[in-house]
Every structure is written in C-alpha cells, then in structure tokens.
Chain A
Amino acid sequence: MTTETQTDNKEQARLRWQCRRGMLELDLFLQSFMDKAYENLSPEQKQTFSVLLETPDQMLLDYLTGRVIPYDKDIADVAKKIRLAAGPDA
C-alpha cells in the first residue's frame, strides 16, 4: 500500500466524520453523497468538497438546496452535484 493511498483513506475517514451534522437534511445530503458519488470527484473537486464542509450548517443547507448560490464557482459546482444527487429516489 502506498503512502498516498493511506493519506487518501485517512482523508476520507476525516471527511466522513465531517459529514455528521446538526440537521437531518444535511446528513441525508452529505452521507449519501459520500457513499455514492465522492469517489467520482476529481482531486480538485475533492479538495473543494472538503472546503465546502467547513461552511456553517444553515449556510450549507442554503447552498445544497440552491436557495443561495456560493460566490466561488468551484464550490457552487460541487454544491450543485450534491443537490442533484439528492431527491425522492436517493
């Protein structure tokens, strides 16, 4: 196993914990995204996802529901991916 893979695993473990939030809606958005779609992000998008998780819960909910569009385009793109992955069938 390479050191790079180990670092990647640790980062994923850290992010998985950061996906535990104070609101059910955020848990649903983030934990299912982490399970199903995180792997498909580019390395840059993974970094952006990590930055997005630093957002306070209510603002994060605004981003993910589309009520507020993040000023940073990269963050807005990742937020949109998470939003589209949710829905009645998620």
Chain B
Amino acid sequence: MSLPIRKFDTLVIGAGGGGLRAALQLSQADANVAVVSKVFPTRSHTVAAQGGMNAALANVVPDNWHWHMYDTIKGSDYLGDQDAIEYMCRAASHLVIELEHQGVPFSRLDNGKIYQRPFGGQSQNFGGEQAARTCAAADRTGHAILHALYQQNIKAKTHFFDEFFAVDLLKDKNGFIIGALVLEIETGEPLLIEAKTTLLATGGAGQLFRTNTNAKINTGDGLAMALRAGIPLEDMEFFQFHPTGIAGRGMLITEGARGEGGYLINKDGERFMERYAPHAKDLASRDVVSRSIATEVREGRGCGPNGDHVMLKLDHLGKEVLDKRLPGICETSRTFLHIDPVEEPIPVFPTAHYTMGGIPTDRFGQVVVPVDTGEEPIPGLYAVGECACVSVHGANRLGGNSLLDIVVFGRAAGNHIIDYLDANRYHHAIDDASVEKAMAHLQRWDKKGDGESVPELKDELQTIMEQNCSVFRTQDVLQECLNQVLQIESRLQNVRLKDHSKVFNTARIEAMELENLVDIAVATVTSALNREESRGAHSRIDFTERDDNNWLKHSLFYKEGRRLEYKPVRMKPMSVETFPPKERVY
C-alpha cells in the first residue's frame, strides 16, 4: 500500500490550548512541528472557555499558590496527584503573565492589575474565606488564549494541517508510537504523518451525553485512539456535570454568574444551597452543587411543569452589572430561551461538561503505563489537556483550573519533548501491519448496503449514557447501561453510510467519531460500575460514602478484555507536606 508520507519531529494532534501551547514551545526551539486539527484551529473548544484561569496573583485578596494547591486537592476529593498539582499551582502566576506578554488582554482592576474573580471551591488560608483567584479576559478568556497562542504559532512557523482528521496512531516494530494516519477532510485522501514524538491534545468527550455543554466536535478522538493502541484510560468514571447548564439544551451558564452574586432557587423560591453548603453556598465545588440541584429535583422541589430543573436568579444584580460582567450568558438566554436574565431567572440543570479522566500521564506530559514495579513512560508519546489524566483534577475539577492545566502541561510537555528530541535524533521505520490496521479501520466505512444510521445510533448512545450514568449512579442501572452500550458496540458493525463521496464527507467523519464515543462509553461505564464508593463527580446511591481504605486509587481501563487495573494516587507533593484526605465540607 503506497500512501503519501510527511515527516516531522513532533506530531501534535489537536489545536486547542494544550496542543498549541506545546507546539509553540517546540517551534520556538526550532523543532519541526505539525499540528493536525479536524476543524480550523481557532474553532477548537478552548474558544468556549468563559470563566478564566486560576493563579494566586493576590490582586484582589491575599492569596498563595499553596492555598490554591490545597483547594485543588480538596476539590479533587483527594484523588488528584499531589506532585502534579503542586507543579501546576506553582507555575500558574508565571504563566498568566507569560500569556499576557503573548497578547491575552486580561481584564483590569482600577489600580491597573489583572482582574480576578471568585470561583467555586476557592479559599484563603486552607479552607478559610473565599478567594478571588480567577484571571479573566471578560467572559472570553479561552478565546483570547486560543487566538494568542495560534498567532504565536504562526509567527514561530508551526506547520498546520487544518481540517485533517486523525484516524489511528501508528507504531514501529517495537510497538512505539511514531505518528498517525490522518484523513484530509476536503479531499477524503489519507496521509501518513511520521514523527519522532507524538502528542495527543484532542480534548474531552462531552458528546457522550445527550445534554452537554460541549461543542459537537468533542468526541474524545484521542482517548479512543489511545485505547485502540493498547493504552489504558485512567479514572474515566469521573465526568463533571456542570451545575448550571440551560435545562434541556445544555448551553453553559458560567460559574462566574454565581461568582458575581447570582444564586439558585427551587420551586418554593428557597435559596437551597444554604442547606447543602452553609459556608460556600452557591460557590461550593461543582460536584456538590450538581448533586444538590439533582436532589432538589428528585425530592419534588424542581421548577417548571415537569419539575425537572431549578432556577438561577440574576435579576437582583441589575442590568448594568449583568451587561458589563456577564454579557454572553445574557445574550444566550435571550436568544435561545427568549428569557431576559435582567427580569427573569434562567432554568438550569446539571449538564455534562468535562472529562476528568483520560490518557494517563506524568507531570511532564509523558504517557505512562503500569509495569511490575510501578509505571513507566512510553517513549515519545505525550498527552495534555482534557484528553490527558495527569491527574490534577482527580474526581472533580475546579472552575478555572482547565485553562491553567492546558497551559501548564502544554508547556511542560513541549519542554520534555525538546530534551527527548535531543537524545533521539532519528525516525523509526513504520510497521506496515500498523498502517494496514489503521487503513482497514478507515476503509470499513466504504462498505455499501443497508444498515443502521450513525445519527440514530449516536442519539441512542447519548440517551443511554444520560439516563443511566450521570449525576447519581447505582449497580443495577450501571450494569444495564453497560449491556446496552455493548449492544450498541456490536450494532455499530451493521452501520452503513449512504454518502460515499470524498469531498468534505461529514457523514464519514461522524461515523468515526461515533466509533470513538462508543469505545469511551464502554470505558466510562465499566470504570463507574466497578468503583464501589462515592467520590467527587462519581456518586453512587448504593455506596454513598468515600472509601479511602479501598478506593483511594486510580482506575485504569484497557479495551482488550475490558480489563480494569488500579494504581496508587501520588500523595507525595514535590516539596511541601502531603495534604491527607479529610472530609470535604464547603
């Protein structure tokens, strides 16, 4: 089989903030970098991050990276790796300033310093008063970061493959990853990209669930490629439901709305978060607020004719504050709901938002897998951002920590790759069998005839996941969910495309995205079924307590045999004392 080949030092798959930050570090060091992105880079999902980026700059109230570290560990329900969390929180302030120098127009205080807003789960002095740690460029921080990084990459001469879809990772004879088979969406032609190092930065898999806050492109492609390459996925049972998605539609109402003084009410007009989190109230951690809302609805205090949501009240903030601080959500609400938050509350319900789990990495972004004595990096393979599990978010991510994650670990991976390239100067030969396998995967969609349709099967998958594997979970329901997902996996073999054209064949890409989602659904449900405790975003009705004796460990799901292994949480930080698990109270 003769396919065109391009060779690079590094292949970056995904052009969101994580991929672009890594690519920039590499291009500036004169590495030859290719970035593959299925959509135009500045249409990556980072563009949607509204809230901001956490850093203990202490511009509004006193702050300290160590307090940020404590909040992140507590927020993670002690499942986060403390060495990686220390590394991230220490690096944060420096990287905010670096981003500013790269062109991100952070909002300002009257004294000229960078504006910082309070976000959920932030405290001063290890659990004390509310901190204000989130640096924001109005309500478009992600957009500002993504555009700045893209422009810096253009300046640094990073090579972009815009609108190319990554099909599968490629290996050499020894099983090392050495690039990927990609598909040019415009022409439908395959291309081999050979690289000494490969970095996955493909984002999350919010499209697993029917109601979600994510762009339609968030189908976890890198997660599924890793699974198919024999790499396990870590902690996939932990999926964050954002407390305030627009009910039934999914659009996100940023936590900043509560940071600015908005609060949640039930059908009796009660500010119910005072009961669940007397101290932090509406700014408690996301998993806590999501469960509180779901509990209100389950216990019959939901709003609307079906009692299936609660309300986010903002009108008391006044038109001026809303228009100045929260213009985006006001417009979203007016346009899609015909509700003006200046006058009426917004109907909200927890909505699938963020994949805490992912491809296991260390704090250098290297993909790591278990060996007899612990774990080892896979030479030349890296992952950063939402597709990775480093793990700084553990069982629950704090708002403002995801933009931080992508910038910190994108840069760290870039630096590590530079050293790796110094010591590994030559390309390895591709194993033909690996190319044939990837091509077979691609060509499977050329089969003609009658069969099930991709949109219908995707809809079914998303509905199953939403009904059975969301905010509250039980053994019976998860087991049934797994059975149904496995049926979808086998029915996928019978799906046929009607459109076999080559040019911009969206249907073919959507079919491969569905395959990816199905692989990830199996990983998510199997991991959730096996974890018999409640921790962070994983809430079991049949195992309501956190169980540190048995479950203070990371799950690792392998596609082959649907096998689960476990590995310990890294409790030892780099330089400070361990934060031992405590009860999480907000």
Chain A contact residues, CB within 8 Å of chain B: 9-10, 13-14, 16-17, 20-28, 31, 56-58, 61-62, 64-67, 83, 86-88, 90
Tell yes or no: B140 within 8 A of A by CB.
yes
Given A17-B506, A31-B216, A83-B335, are A22 and B163 neighbors across the interface (CB < 8 Å)?
A: no
Tell yes or no: B424 within 8 A of A by CB.
no
Q: Do B501 and A25 have beta carbons less than 8 Å apart?
A: no
Q: What are 17 A-to-B residue pairs whose CB atoms are below 8 Å?
A: A13-B503, A13-B505, A16-B506, A22-B217, A24-B212, A24-B216, A24-B252, A26-B215, A28-B251, A31-B216, A57-B43, A57-B47, A57-B48, A65-B332, A83-B335, A86-B336, A90-B336
With a cutoff of 8 Å between Cβ atoms, the chain B residues found around residue A22 in the complex are: 39, 42-48, 146, 215, 217
Given A13-B503, A56-B42, are A24 and B48 neighbors across the interface (CB < 8 Å)?
A: yes
Tell yes or no: B154 within 8 A of A by CB.
no
Q: B194-232 toward A: CB 8 Å interface, digit per residue (1/0)?
A: 000000000000000000111111000000000000000
Given A16-B504, A22-B39, 16 more A-B residue pairs with CB atoms under 8 Å apart are: A10-B504, A13-B504, A20-B216, A21-B47, A21-B215, A22-B215, A23-B47, A24-B212, A25-B336, A27-B215, A56-B42, A58-B47, A66-B335, A86-B336, A87-B338, A88-B336
In the complex, the chain A residue whose C-beta lies closest to that of B339 is A88
Q: Whole-angstrom distance from the CB of A11 to the nearest CB of chain B?
A: 9
Q: B102-145 toward A: CB 8 Å interface, digit per residue (1/0)?
A: 00000000000000000000000000000000000000100100
Residue picked from B43, B186, B327, B334, most chain A C-beta under 10 Å: B43
Q: Which residues of B in the span 475-520 have a Cβ within 8 Å of any Cβ on A?
A: 501, 503-506
Q: Do A57 and B335 have beta carbons less than 8 Å apart?
A: no
Given A23-B47, A56-B42, A87-B336, are A13 and B501 neighbors across the interface (CB < 8 Å)?
A: yes
Q: Do B42 and A88 have beta carbons less than 8 Å apart?
A: no
Tell yes or no: B63 within 8 A of A by CB.
no
Q: Do A25 and B251 have beta carbons less than 8 Å apart?
A: yes
Given A20-B39, A67-B327, are A56 and B185 neighbors across the interface (CB < 8 Å)?
A: no
Bound Cα distance from A31 to B252, whole angstroms: 18
Tell yes or no: B147 within 8 A of A by CB.
yes
Q: Do B250 and A24 have beta carbons less than 8 Å apart?
A: yes
Q: B317-335 toward A: CB 8 Å interface, digit per residue (1/0)?
A: 0000000000110011011
In the complex, the chain A residue whose C-beta lies closest to that of B248 is A88
Given A57-B42, A57-B43, are A23 and B48 neighbors across the interface (CB < 8 Å)?
A: yes
Tell yes or no: B61 within 8 A of A by CB.
no
Q: Whole-angstrom distance from the CB of A68 to the nearest CB of chain B?
A: 10
Q: Whole-angstrom distance from the CB of A12 to the nearest CB of chain B?
A: 9
Q: Do B214 and A21 have beta carbons less than 8 Å apart?
A: no
Given A13-B503, A17-B163, A31-B216, are A65 and B43 neighbors across the interface (CB < 8 Å)?
A: no
Bound Cα distance from A31 to B146, whole angstroms: 23
Residue picked from A13, A14, A66, A67, most chain B C-beta under 10 Å: A13
With a cutoff of 8 Å between Cβ atoms, the chain B residues found around residue A56 in the complex are: 42, 143, 147
Tell yes or no: B337 within 8 A of A by CB.
yes
Bound Cα distance from A65 to B336, whole angstroms: 9
In the complex, the chain B residue whose C-beta lies closest to that of A9 is B501
With a cutoff of 8 Å between Cβ atoms, the chain B residues found around residue A31 in the complex are: 216
Q: Whole-angstrom distance from the CB of A75 to the nearest CB of chain B?
A: 18
Bound Cα distance from A61 to B42, whole angstroms: 14
With a cutoff of 8 Å between Cβ atoms, the chain A residues found around residue B332 in the complex are: 25, 65
With a cutoff of 8 Å between Cβ atoms, the chain A residues found around residue B331 in the complex are: 61-62, 65-67
Q: Do A17 and B185 have beta carbons less than 8 Å apart?
A: yes
With a cutoff of 8 Å between Cβ atoms, the chain B residues found around residue A58 in the complex are: 47, 140, 143
Q: Which residues of B in the span 26-43 have a Cβ within 8 Å of any Cβ on A?
A: 38-39, 42-43
Bound Cα distance from A23 to B39, whole angstroms: 12
Cross-interface CB contact of A57 among B143, B251, B327, B501, cutoff 8 Å? B143
Q: Do A28 and B503 have beta carbons less than 8 Å apart?
A: no
Q: Whole-angstrom distance from the CB of A89 to the nearest CB of chain B?
A: 10
Q: Do B335 and A87 have beta carbons less than 8 Å apart?
A: yes
Q: Whole-angstrom distance from the CB of A49 to the nearest CB of chain B?
A: 16
With a cutoff of 8 Å between Cβ atoms, the chain B residues found around residue A13 in the complex are: 501, 503-506
Q: Do B215 and A24 have beta carbons less than 8 Å apart?
A: yes
Bound Cα distance from A22 to B44, whole angstroms: 5
Bound Cα distance from A12 to B47, whole angstroms: 25
Given A21-B39, A24-B216, are A65 and B334 neighbors across the interface (CB < 8 Å)?
A: yes
Q: B39-64 toward A: CB 8 Å interface, digit per residue (1/0)?
A: 10011111110000000000000000
